[in-house]
Structures are given as C-alpha cells and as structure tokens.
Structure 1
Amino acid sequence: MTVAAPSAAPAETAAPATRSRWRTWALAAICAAAAVLYAWRIGDGQVGNSYYSAAVKSMTGSFSNFLFGSFDPYGVFTVDKPPMSLWPQAISVLIFGFHGWALLLPQVLEGVAAVFLLHRAVRLWAGENAALLAALILTLTPITVAINRDNNPDTLLVLLLVAAAYAFTRSVQADPSRARTRWLLWCAFFIGCGFVTKMMQAWIILPGFALAYFAGTSAPVKRRLLDLLGAAAVLLVSSFWWTALHDLWPGSKPYMGGSTDGTALNLIFGYNGFGRIFGGEGNFGPGGGGHRPGGGLPGGMELPAGTAPPSGGPGGMFGGETGLGRMFGGAVGGQISWLLPLALLVLVAVAVRGVRRKRPGGPAQRAGWFAWGSWLLVTGVVFSYAQGIWHPYYTTMLAPAIAAICAAGLAGFWREYRQDSGYGWLLLPAGVALTAGWAFVLANRDPSWHGWTRWAVLAVGAVAVAALVLGKLASVRRAIFTRASLVLAAVALLLVPAVWSAATAATGESMGGMPSAGPAGLGFPGGSGGGARMPGGRDAGLPGAPDASGFPGGPGGMRAGARKPGDMGDFLNGKLTDDQRRILDYAKQHSGGAAITLAVDGSATMASSFIIGSDETVIGMGGFLGSDDSPSVGQLQQWTAEGKLKFVLGSTGGRGGRGMPGMSGGAGEKRQGWIKQHCAAVDPAAYGGKPASAEQEAQAGPMGGAQTLYQCHA
C-alpha cells in the first residue's frame, strides 16, 4: 500500500484577494473565544504566581527595580529569571493600579496575540483553512488556557517564538534576497527576546530553524551561510544585552536571584540553564532548578510509605518520570497530549511520502515542515529527558507546533480523502480514530472530572470514522456523508480538550506557581498525576488556619491541589493572615523609621504575602528558597549598625529551611546563625500572637517556618 502524506497548500491559496468574508469573521471569533477563555474572572481575587506578583509590585517603585526585576521594594535580589515577561505586567500595574486583573491583563493580550500570529504564520505556509484550524487548536489547548490565566513567563515566551516562526516563514517565502535576510534577522531577534524571557529554553528551536532555512531557500549556499551568520550575531546581541547590562552595571543593583555569585551569566549557564536539563547541585526556583547529587528529594520532601522515589531527579516529582512516555503520563498527558499522537502520525506520513514518493511541496513548504516538526520533536525530547525540576506547564511551548502540524496535516489528509485513487484516504479516519481513542484514555484517568466526555468522544469518534469510511466506499451516499463526517471528525478531535479548557476558565481560579488544567492537583506533587507529596506528606485535610508562615496548618500542612479559599487559596493569592498582619504592624510601630520594616527569613514565597498585602518595605532573605547569599551576613550587620533593619521574621525549631539544597553550612545557615547571635525573640504576646506549638516546630518544612519575630541589634 502506498501511503500518501499530506502536502501543504501553496502559498497563493492564502492570498487576501481569494479569502471569503466568513474566514475573516471566523478568525475574529476564534480570537474572541481565546480572549474569553484567558480573561474570564481573572480579577476574581487571584494574583497569579505570588512570587512574580510581589516582584511586579516592587518593580513599580523605582527604575532600578523595574530594569532588573527586583523581588523586593528595597532592591536586595531579583527573581530568578530575566524580567522581560514582568515588564508588561509592571507597566499595566503602573497604569491601572495593583490588582489581579491588572497583573494578568498583559498575559491575556499576549495569549490572543499568539493565536493571531500563529494563524498568520500557518496561513502563509499551509493555506487559510489550515490556519483557522491551527488557531482554534492553540486556543483550546488546556495548558495554554491555564498558563495564559497566570503570570508565569511562558505566555510571553510562546508569543515570541510564534513571532519568530512567522518571521521565519516570511523569510523562506521571500523572493528578493534583501527581504529574505531581513525577515531571518527578525526571526533571530524574536528568539533572542525569548531568551531574555526564559533564557535557554527559547533556544531549543534554534537548530531546527537554522537547518530549515539552509535547506528551504533557493539562495546560493554562500548567501545562506552569510544570512545565518548575520542572524547569529543578532541572536547573541538580543539574547545577552540584558545579561551584560546587569553584570556590568556600575552602580548598585539587586543580587541575581538563583545564582551562586550574583551574576546573570552564572544563572543562565547554571541551574536555570544546564541545571534544568542535566540536574545537579542548584537552587529550586519557581520554574525549575537543579537537585542534589544522589537524586534525593529536596528539603526533606516526603514520599508516601512504600512509594519509590521518582526517577530522573526531582523533575519526576512534578512532571513524572523521565523518558519518552513523560508527555503522555498522568501529570502531563491531560495538559498537552490530546493531539500529540495525531501530530506524530502527520510527521510520519510526511516522512514516508518524502522517502517513497517525493518531497512534499517546494523548498519553502519543506522548510515549514522541518521547522514545525523540529520544534515539536526537539522540544518534546528535551522536556521528556530533563533531569532538573520540570513542571507540566512548560509544555505550553509545544502547543503552537502541535497546532500547526495537525492543522496542515488534516488539510492534507482531507485532500487525500477526496482523491479517487490510492489508499491515502485512510489517513483521515485513522487520525480521527487515534485521537478519539487517546482522548478517551486521558478522560478516563479521572472520571470525576467531566467523565461524561470519555463516552461522548468515543461515540462521536466512532460515528465520524464510520461516516468517513461509508462516505468513501458508498459512492452513492458520498454527498450525504462527506461534509457531515468532516464536522463530526472535528468534534471528535476537539471535544474533550475544549471541555477541559472551558472548565478551567470557568472556575476563575489561579494555581499560582503551578498552573494546570483539569482535575485539582495535576500541577502539584501527589495530585492526579502522581509523584511525591508536598512537605509533611499530607494530601488530605488542612488542620487549622494559616499561621505566620503563610501555610495552612503551618509549613507542614501544605496540601497538593487545594483550591478552596481558606486552605491554599489565600497563600497562593498573597494574602496576609491575621498573625502576619499583627507582626508587620508591630514591626512598623517599633522600627523607629528604619528603611527596612521587616526582613523575612525562609523563602521569598514567605515574603511575597507581606509585599503584596502591604505598602511597607519588606524584604526576603536568600532568594526563592533561602539558599542565595543575599542579603549576606555582612549586609545584615551593616544594615543593623546603620539602623536600617531592626526586625526579622525567622524560623523556629524544625528544619527551618536548613534542609534546602545548598543551605547546609551555606549562606542560609550563616544567616540563621547571625540571627541567633544578634537578635532576640519578641514575646508573641507583645503583638497578640501565640508561641509556636511543639507540633508546629516539628513540622517546619523545607521552605522554612517563618514564625518567630526577632528584634536585632548591632
């Protein structure tokens, strides 16, 4: 049997002169649907990732804080990423004030812009109909809906990479050499901006794009090489300008969060670069990091009794075990893999066509297949084998490639289906059956979450496949079955992910640092996706109200997947507890006008509630999880001697943060020693609090139990 692969439509079919009016309205409707999904109830009390939200508020306080992405208003240390994704949020807050919807509005706009730009890129490559389908697929990808309702950097990263793909497509299809070069340089610039957004993750698509350009243009070889060299120069400048600015800045600047020496270059090639792929000693930031040698769990995180540690480093705690099955596993599959089998089928069909018959399309069409295919395959392999901390929401980067490949492939399958010869028509019903079957498997993993969809997609998929086969074999009935079967096929492909996306948006809730679609807990260890439990090993019940640490029931009571106000909701949304408010008020009243009202030891997450919930100058100590050497003991001594710092909210008993990687005998432990030596505990009765119980002290988790207020002296 000769397998006929889909071939992309010529670029001429997408010319504006031939477009019908309904396609314009269809694109507008898709963008409007995206806006509704991404924006629905975003101002309903949530602030997204409180770590980044606190930084955004601090960034509005001074130009230096804005430029470098300072976490705290005093400019002690930055977040552990370049600040490009936070700049639009800070500008929005400056215009509208600090509210949840002001923080998340830029994310909504960026998400809709990515949908529109993907349509434009696929339209140039595969035609108008495929472009509309690609835009719809991206809109309805569950993890894309979840991440665009949050303020992690992935939303802007996806937009910039889609912009790069659009520029690349313009480049390989341009006739004049000058236009071809200009668009390639724009492609490199957008990827460089992606680097300033999330560093080396943006570079994953580079090899495929470079090879696709070299093989997909008709320019002489010498000209292609010169173009690529020019693009490399633009890429390096656009990628490293902010790094150079930070590291060479002559005046005072915040310490680079997550680094070991305070430089952005160290962060790029350390835990936020190769540490993500290969693991190794490093910090645990909100979006990734390294792990301790030996593959142990960070900071004493506990596994349920009888459960083996996740393989492949700590990334397995959040994203499942490493290997090719990770993208389809319990933690990740429901986020992104709905159309992944179909995308792989399309790529195999294209490859078979190239080997057995002929290469699909002209050079520009082949370049498109290579660019989108390499984006999907290389990124998928890197994510599947990443050894460091890796979160399922990173897979939103796969969504544009899956959307483009599936849309172009289905358009090709449809053309093959309508031909009168060969067996290529079988690809369309096979793709529908494969996708509907996989959707049933994903929906069946947790039937409590819209479980009716598994039977609905099975029924619709079976009818669609039967209609496609009958429409092809029963020529008398072909006119009856063809259009109806196509509609049923589209429903079978998108029904379940559309329900997951709509349900995620309808809740109007934010999962803070770990956004996820679907059943509660998929973004957390111990949730539906499996993996290690959070500190304390608890996954049921939340005893007590949040204490001064900000965790429900104390630092050991953080429950994976909690979404109700009063348990993790207040913590994720950066709200101060009553104890925290009393502590802050006491520090303010007795600070004597000190420049720093309160320093919070333990983790930046503990300090974020104080920054978000007040206008006082509150700083964190030690970066995201307390292991950075900022502020140093020398800085603390100087601030205290100069009267700039008088109160520290520190940990009492338990591990108190000492279990975090890099802290044993390091900067965090030295700060704790300085606190014990130069600070005296304030009687909780002085501010209306209660002493920590023995149980709370014993449960002090790996993020630190910031429960005791200390007054410091020189």
Structure 2
Amino acid sequence: MSPILTDPVPLSGGGRAPGHRRRMPWTRDQPHHVPSPDAPTETGLPVGGSGGLVSAEDVSAEDARWVRPALVTLLVGTGVLYLWGLGASGWANAFYSAAVQAGSVSWKAFFYGSSDAANSITVDKPPASLWVMALSVRIFGLSAWSILVPQALMGVATVGLLYQTVRRQFSAGAGLLAGAVLALTPVAALMFRFNNPDALLVLLLVAAAYATLRAIEQASTRWLVFAGVLVSFAFLTKLLQALLVVPVFALVYLVTAPTSFWRRVRQTLAAGLGLLIPAGLFIAIVELVPASSRPYIGGSQHNSLLELTLGYNGLGRLTGNETGSVGGGRGGRMGGLPESIGNGAAGAAPGGGTVIFGPGGPGGHGGGMWGQAGWTRMFGSEVGGQISWLLPTALILLVAGLWITRRAPRTNRARAAFLLWGGWLLVTGIVFSQMKGIFHAYYTVALAPAVGALVGMGCALLWRHRRHPAAAVVSAATMAATAAWCYTLLNRTPQWHPWIRYAVLVAGIIAALGFLAAIRLPRRAALGVATVALVAGLLGPGSYAIATAATPHTGSIPAAGPAGAGFGGPGGGRFFRMGQGGLQAGRQRGFPPRGMGRGAQGGPQGGGIFPGGAFPGDGQQMPGGQGGMPGQAGGGAGTGTTTLGNGILGGRESRGGGPGGLLSAVTPSNTIVKLLRQNADSYTWVAAAVGSNSAAGYQLATQDPVMPVGGFNGSDPSPTLAQFKQYVAEGKIHYFIGGGGFGQANGGSSSSREISSWVTENFTSKTVDGVTLYDLTAPKTGATTGSTTGTGVTA
C-alpha cells in the first residue's frame, strides 16, 4: 500500500524521548524540530527507543497549501459517490422505511421505533437510526431521498471525522489516506447509501474513537465520558454490536492515559456511567411502561427489549440460538420451512426437490444459511469483496506500527492509536468470523474505519522511515501482498473489466520494486512510487465502490460490488447463503444455485412453498423460477417477477402486485392501493399481512397503518389469535393480505399461522391483480369471527 505523500514535522516538547541513548540509523533524515505552541506532552513518536519523532499535528506552511484543497476534494468526492443516483434504490430496505413513515406521523411510533403508526409492533432494533430519518421526513416529506440522504451525509461526516482523528496523531497525509480508504471500501459505499442502522452505528463509533483519543492526550474526563455517551447512542442504534469496541477503548485508556492509575480507573468508571445512562434510561422506560400502552417489542417472544438485546439480537447471534429467526448455525435448516423447496414438477407435491440449507447441512461446519463461520470468513467469496481489499494490508501495518513503537513510553499517543484501531479491527473481526447465528456481509462496514486508520497510520510510519532498509523491505512486502490480494478478489469476477486486475497487479509490482529502491531515490522519485502504489491499492476497491453506487439496492440483505461478485449478486436479498457443504448437497438434489423453486409449477397447494395452503392465498399455481423467491433471472438480486404473488422471499419489485414476502417489499398496483384507502379513516389498520416486509410495501404505498402480523419473520406472538379476533370484532382491521413471512421460525410463535388459518376458514377471499385479499368486515355465513375471550362467536 502507498505511503503518505508528505513528511510530518516533529512536534514534541524536546528533541529526545525518555530513555534516549543514540539516534537509530533509520532516523538520519529527520527534519529540523519545529515546536508547536499548543502541542500537548507526549506528542512525539519514539522510534525503537530513539529520538526520531513523528508529529501528532501537521501545521507546517508547506502542508497548509495543499491540505485544505485535498480535504475538500476527499469530502466532495465522497459526497458525489454516496449521493449520485441515490433515489434509484427507492425505499431501499422497506422494513425500515415503513417505520420511518410511521415515526413521521406519530410521535409514539417515533419514540419506540414502531413499524406502523398504529403502534402494533416495533422493528427488531432500537430506534436511534430511525429518529434521524423520521425527522428528515417530517421536514422534507416522505420520499426515497428524504430517507436516504441522511445516510449519505453520515458517510461524508464519518470520512471527515476519521481524517481528523488520524491527523491528530500523525499527519494530514495519513488522515487523507485513512479517509479515502474508508470512502472507497465497497461495503461502506453500500451502507452509506442504504437505510439500515449501520450508517449511524459507524459514525457514532468513529466519533467515540475520536473522543477516546482526545481523552488520552491530556487525561480528560470530559472527553472520555463523551465517548461513553456516544457508544450508548450506538447501542440504541444496533444493540450489542456497539459494545464490541468498549473493552478496547477502556483498556487503551487505562494503559496509555498520562495520569495516575487510580485516576484512570475513576475516569473509566465515569465513562461507564456515560454509556449506561442514555441506553439504560431508554430500556427502563420501555420495560416499565405497561405493555398495553406501548407497541410490542419486535424480535422478542415475550415483549421484552432486554430479551431482544440478549437473545435474538445479542448472544444468539454468537451461538446460533435465536428463537424466531429464519436460520442459524444449528442444523443448517431454515426454521419453519420444509426441506423440500423448489424443483417440483408441474402439479406435483409442493417443492419436490430436497434442499439442505447452508453448511450446517451435509458437509457443513456451522453457520447455517448465513455462511460458514471460521477464521477465513472475512476473506471468503461471500464477504471478501465487501471489506477485505486492504484487510491484509491493515494487519501487516498494525504489526509494523506496534513493532516500531515497542520501546516508546507508556503514554505515547501514536502507539495508543495503533492499539485502539488494531483492537477495534481484531475484536470485531473475530466476532464476525465466529458468529454462528444470523450474519450478513454488510455487517463488515463496522471494520472499514479501523482498516482505513491502520492503513493511513502505518503508511505514514513507513514513508517517514523509507530510507531505512527494514522499512523499505516492509513497504515492498506490504505492497506485494496488497496487489496480490486485490488481484485475487478481482479475479473472482473475471468477466467484469478484466483490465482492472492486470493494472492492479502491474502497478503493485512496480511499486514494490520502487520501495526497495527508495533508500537511494530522491524525494520526487519516491513520490512517483507512492502515486503508483496508491493506484495499485485503491483501484480495486474503488472500482467496486463505483459499481456499488451505480446499482440500485433494495431488500433486507444488500450486497456491494458488480453483478456476479458473489453468490446471488448485488441489488437485493442475497438470502440463501450456502457454504460448500450445503451448496453441494443442494446441487446433488437439483437445487438451482441462483434461484428458489425452479420447477415448472409448485403444485396446487402451498404456492410451491408451503404444503396444504398454510398461508391464505398460497393455493395459486406459481411458476417456480418466477415466484416470490429470488428467481433465476434475478439470481438473488431481487429482480425476479412475482406474477402470482404469495412468494416468501420476494423480488425487488412485485410486478403483479403480489406480496414480496420476507426480505423484499412489494409495489402494489394502483387498484389495490385505491381499495385499501377506501374508508381508511374508519379503521385503525387498513390491512394486516404476515411479516413486516409484506406489510411495509402496502403501508408505504397507502401511507396508512398496515399491521405486520408476527413482526419481521412472522414468528413473534404479535398479535395473538385472541387479540386479532378482538381487533376484527371491533372493526379495527379492514383487509387481510394473503401470503407473507415464514411464521413459527426456529421455535418462534405460531400466532401468525393460526391467524392465517382462522382468516382462511372464516372469510371469503378475492384476488386483485394477483393478490389474495380477505375483507375482515364481511365474514362467511356461519363463520366464527371472534370474541373478547378468543373462543369465537358465530356470525
């Protein structure tokens, strides 16, 4: 990877570090010392115990001429990358967009993060990220832009904040390189253009890292407590994932802060209070408010935010024991679905072919349908193209940085920065690699700031000491490893602009050889080598980032990169992630690796998905490759057409108006929208549908509350059958929409399935533009339509 294109100016309080004995050979080109009027103590970086120092501030007159234009270029370029064509993604993740719409019209829904304005159930995350988007919608109105632009601006802010964080410890060049690496990481280009909670999570964690390093500079209690508060709001964005960095931040402060040990302990405890109060206050409010006065907590089985925090969205992600989820590491099957899905012949039993999902099946090693857990997960075909472009580079430079600073004083700020960012990368990366529960490749955006910081800081050190033979060898080896790995990732999509991978390889070889010769090269020639190295290191991820920005993304599981970059491709729900064991098992049984339900037709009942019409309206003949699953044409990209509705996973657009299912919302026809809007003010919910994504498309189209029965997966007990009967008896729900989520997944509640069966038995269906609707105000003659006791009455 390229070194930094500027020499930092040393700014320590003295010319020699503590314990200095003699100047090491690789500091012989050290420039004249220029003191800083406001430089705190311990700003210099002792190199190998010598007096060679690297600055914490970069304020030289030479740098001032180019730093500001370069920073403006970086931020404007990031803004263009993240904002250009943003509206093409539409509602993006409609699950969250529907909650944003609800929060924009109801303050109660805003506070709790409800899926609908009538507050039946919340999303399965805390609401912090929804707050930002809902405020934007309240100001600018409901549109794709008002939802997604705040995410893109968070990305620009994160890049700028990372630049400033790295610059304080090293140089402006180091900060610029760190920011560029973050901006051009493909998964960052994806998530800062999407409305999942990860954008706000990453911004808050980078801000917390900045505050922690500021606290270390002068042992500041105020900055350390502020870091705790920022992590607390990150917790309110994505729960336990935000806490992965907390042990790292605390240990680095306890080890390196320039004050007494017991004061460091007291300050760390104070920061813990800063972390506890905002998140704890929100949890306390939710837990103490009577369940009848607030929405049900989505993702939990007992209406508890604590259960959600520690179970489905917490420790369950590590162990795979996630009650109510649709997958996991234990057994490799999709909870709630039969093993026979897809490949059914015309008129045969639903889904004649047997498919074992994920590496938890034959030949697998855990991780279930979410991919194989293990030490190589970050580099595999599913994740590698998202985040790992400069991951080997960052790891090498982390080792180099810690080695160079090994004899520095305890309070050395540069080493503290390496420890903080290195700890962030290692702890988060190891947890992601070993997760046996739900794991999506886009989670790895949380690694991007640490990768960028380590690359910027490490390259600054190697550039500073480029004339020393050891530094030259390390630089050359790092560059060779970077080019080789980028070439490998590009080679996974051999038909996509093949010239890029050859350009990366050639530039990498030239740069590596140039670094070996840098000992004797003049500065201008060395700068030329650095420029070639920048091209070699950033061309691969940058091209993937541009391809990501040029592709609309919808659904619940987006993926970065060009089409064909991974299983299923980008653009939508890459859902059925299968390791080699599960994929081979599927192929042996005729499973199409790019689609679900490839048979001629799924049979007379169950729509090719569920036997016996488990969900209302599933009894329609559905072409296997074109139903709600990602079809052959879409390849998991969310572009399959749902001509007869009733699919479970759904395509990016349901052209026939049918339910999009679990992972992708629908675009209902104008006829259906008009039908749902009739007398909408007379009902609390204009409709109900199983699964939040099934409900979300209708809610966004009508902008009226649609009840998501069972929450995201359709497996939460919200509402129960008795409660649903009560709502129907009171005339609160107009229509029930057939099809939808999985229901009773992985040990979850069977309420949604019971409700679906009850509706089928007691209400007459009609099909409108391929969608099965039940008018809950018009029961069949003699039907049992509900009562306050849940036993039912006869109409």
> TM-score band (shorter)?
0.7 to 0.9
Structure 1 residues 626, 212: CA separation in 2 closer, same or farther (over 3 Å shift)? same
1:380 aligned partner:
429
1:700 aligned partner:
none
CA contact (8 A) 2:480 2:508 kept: yes
Which of 111, 114, 117 is equivalent to 2:161? Answer: 117
2:476 aligned partner:
429
1:460 aligned partner:
507
Mapped to 2, the partners of 1:592 and 1:54 lie a distance apart of: 19
Please identify, of 28-37 and 232-241, the stretch whose mean Cα deviation from structure 2 is larger: 232-241
2:751 aligned partner:
667
**Shift in Å, 1:9:** 6.3
Mapped to 1, the partners of 2:561 and 2:396 lie a distance apart of: 26
**Shift in Å, 1:566:** 5.4
**Does the alignment pair 1:156 with 2:200?**
yes
The one-letter code matched in structure 1 to 2:436 is Q
Which of 203, 223, 232 is equivalent to 2:243? Answer: 203
Mapped to 2, the partners of 1:441 and 1:184 lie a distance apart of: 41
The one-letter code matched in structure 1 to 2:594 is D
Structure 1 residues 221, 81: CA separation in 2 closer, same or farther (over 3 Å shift)? same
1:173 aligned partner:
217
**Shift in Å, 1:585:** 4.0
Structure 1 residues 636, 292: CA separation in 2 closer, same or farther (over 3 Å shift)? farther
2:328 aligned partner:
291
**Does the alignment pair 1:621 with 2:661?**
no
CA contact (8 A) 1:313 1:388 kept: no
Deviations 1:626-678 (A, max 9, x none): 111111222212212222124212349xxx73563234x7323332343245x
- The 5-angstrom pairing of residues 645-660 of structure 1 reads 645-651=733-739, 657-658=742-743, 660=745
**Does the alignment pair 1:448 with 2:485?**
no
**Shift in Å, 1:246:** 1.6
Which of 554, 562, 582 is equivalent to 2:627? Answer: 554
Which of 760, 765, 776 is equivalent to 1:682? Answer: 765
Give secondary structure in 2 for the equivalent of 1:44: helix
2:460 aligned partner:
411
Deviations 1:241-264 (A, max 9, x none): 221222222571110000111121
Mapped to 2, the partners of 1:91 and 1:479 lie a distance apart of: 51
Percentage identity across paired residues of the two chains: 36
Over aligned residues, Cα RMSD in angstroms? Answer: 3.3
**Shift in Å, 1:449:** 2.5
Mapped to 1, the partners of 2:677 and 2:496 lie a distance apart of: 47
Please identify, of 531-540 and 294-303, the stretch whose mean Cα deviation from structure 2 is larger: 531-540
1:65 aligned partner:
109
2:562 aligned partner:
519
**Does the alignment pair 1:262 with 2:273?**
no
Please identify, of 516-525 and 147-156, the stretch whose mean Cα deviation from structure 2 is larger: 516-525
The one-letter code matched in structure 2 to 1:335 is Q
Structure 1 residues 45, 192: CA separation in 2 closer, same or farther (over 3 Å shift)? closer
**Shift in Å, 1:16:** 8.0
Mapped to 1, the partners of 2:398 and 2:200 lie a distance apart of: 27
CA contact (8 A) 1:70 1:254 kept: yes
TM-score under structure 1 normalisation?
Answer: 0.86
**Shift in Å, 1:450:** 2.7
**Does the alignment pair 1:370 with 2:419?**
yes
The one-letter code matched in structure 2 to 1:411 is A
- The 5-angstrom pairing of residues 77-226 of structure 1 reads 77-174=121-218, 177=219, 180-226=220-266
1:241 aligned partner:
281
Please identify, of 215-224 and 566-575, the stretch whose mean Cα deviation from structure 2 is larger: 566-575
The one-letter code matched in structure 1 to 2:668 is T
1:702 aligned partner:
none
Mapped to 1, the partners of 2:279 and 2:365 lie a distance apart of: 29
- The 5-angstrom pairing of residues 50-61 of structure 1 reads 50-61=94-105
Please identify, of 666-675 and 630-639, the stretch whose mean Cα deviation from structure 2 is larger: 666-675
Structure 1 residues 388, 360: CA separation in 2 closer, same or farther (over 3 Å shift)? farther
Which of 322, 347, 366 is equivalent to 2:373? Answer: 322
CA contact (8 A) 2:482 2:537 kept: yes
1:253 aligned partner:
294
Give secondary structure in 2 for the equivalent of 1:245: helix
Please identify, of 76-85 and 91-100, the stretch whose mean Cα deviation from structure 2 is larger: 91-100
Structure 1 residues 479, 669: CA separation in 2 closer, same or farther (over 3 Å shift)? closer
1:709 aligned partner:
774
Note the residue ranges of structure 1 that are not aligned, 5 or more in a row: 691-705
Aligned length: 669
The one-letter code matched in structure 2 to 1:429 is A
Mapped to 2, the partners of 1:574 and 1:169 lie a distance apart of: 43
Mapped to 2, the partners of 1:451 and 1:360 lie a distance apart of: 49
Structure 1 residues 153, 76: CA separation in 2 closer, same or farther (over 3 Å shift)? same
Structure 1 residues 445, 293: CA separation in 2 closer, same or farther (over 3 Å shift)? closer
- The 5-angstrom pairing of residues 583-622 of structure 1 reads 583=672, 585-586=674-675, 588-589=677-678, 593-601=682-690, 603-622=691-710
CA contact (8 A) 1:277 1:388 kept: yes
Note the residue ranges of structure 2 that are not aligned, 5 or more in a row: 1-24, 28-44, 343-352, 602-606, 608-615, 643-650, 655-662, 780-784, 787-795
Give secondary structure in 1 for the equivalent of 2:128: coil
CA contact (8 A) 2:89 2:554 kept: no
**Does the alignment pair 1:496 with 2:551?**
no
Mapped to 2, the partners of 1:55 and 1:12 lie a distance apart of: 44
2:40 aligned partner:
none
**Shift in Å, 1:310:** 1.3
Structure 1 residues 310, 708: CA separation in 2 closer, same or farther (over 3 Å shift)? farther
CA contact (8 A) 1:89 1:106 kept: yes
Tell me which of the two structures has the higher relative contact order, counting C-alpha pairs closer than 8 angstroms and 6 or more residues apart.
1
**Shift in Å, 1:381:** 0.3
- The 5-angstrom pairing of residues 528-547 of structure 1 reads 539=594
1:641 aligned partner:
729
Deviations 1:458-480 (A, max 9, x none): 111111122222343xx4x6456
- The 5-angstrom pairing of residues 298-377 of structure 1 reads 298-300=335-337, 309-311=358-360, 315-318=367-370, 320-353=371-404, 358-359=407-408, 362-377=411-426
The one-letter code matched in structure 1 to 2:562 is P
Mapped to 2, the partners of 1:278 and 1:9 lie a distance apart of: 46
Structure 1 residues 115, 557: CA separation in 2 closer, same or farther (over 3 Å shift)? closer
Structure 1 residues 9, 294: CA separation in 2 closer, same or farther (over 3 Å shift)? farther
**Shift in Å, 1:202:** 0.4
**Shift in Å, 1:710:** 5.0
**Does the alignment pair 1:32 with 2:79?**
no
The one-letter code matched in structure 1 to 2:150 is P
Mapped to 2, the partners of 1:350 and 1:645 lie a distance apart of: 62
Give secondary structure in 1 for the equivalent of 2:151: helix
Give secondary structure in 2 for the equivalent of 1:267: helix
TM-score under structure 2 normalisation?
Answer: 0.78
CA contact (8 A) 2:486 2:501 kept: yes
Mapped to 2, the partners of 1:83 and 1:479 lie a distance apart of: 52
Mapped to 2, the partners of 1:481 and 1:588 lie a distance apart of: 70
**Shift in Å, 1:75:** 0.8
**Shift in Å, 1:436:** 0.4
Structure 1 residues 316, 345: CA separation in 2 closer, same or farther (over 3 Å shift)? farther
Structure 1 residues 623, 552: CA separation in 2 closer, same or farther (over 3 Å shift)? farther
**Shift in Å, 1:595:** 2.6
Structure 1 residues 57, 485: CA separation in 2 closer, same or farther (over 3 Å shift)? same
The one-letter code matched in structure 2 to 1:211 is L
The one-letter code matched in structure 2 to 1:69 is G
Greater per-residue helix proportion: 1
Mapped to 2, the partners of 1:597 and 1:315 lie a distance apart of: 39
Mapped to 2, the partners of 1:332 and 1:658 lie a distance apart of: 29
The one-letter code matched in structure 2 to 1:709 is Y
